[in-house]
Amino acid sequence: MFYLPSYSPELNPEERLNADLKQAMGKRVPVRTKAKLRQTANEHIAMLEQSPERLMSFFQDPKVKYATG
């Protein structure tokens, strides 16, 4: 188990996932309700589950390779 620092100037894998989600959400039609926001986020995460190469790209920066074991 690796503990992530509370602050890190470089993006760690979790922050890269959040950035990917935010970017994808920004390209869609604006969501107006909490339920629609949740649905849209879940759809994006489900798409990522089907795209292991995209998930692995979050770990390719030498600064975060520690997280791959």
The pLDDT score that the predictor gives to residue 58 is: 85
Average pLDDT, the chain: 83
Average pLDDT over residues 3-30: 80
Q: Is 35 left (phi over 0), alpha (psi -120 to 50) or beta?
A: alpha
Query: Taking 80 as the threshold, does the pLDDT of residue 8 lie above it?
Result: no
φ/ψ (deg, to 5) at 28: -90, 175
Given a cut of 80, is residue 49 above it in pLDDT? yes
Q: Convert the pLDDT of each residue in 18-46 to its tens digit.
A: 889 999 988 887 888 999 999 999 999 99
Host H or E run for residue 52: helix 52-57
Q: Is 7 helix (H, G, I), strand (E, B) or coil?
A: coil
Q: Where are the domains of the chain?
A: 13-68
Give the pTM: 0.69
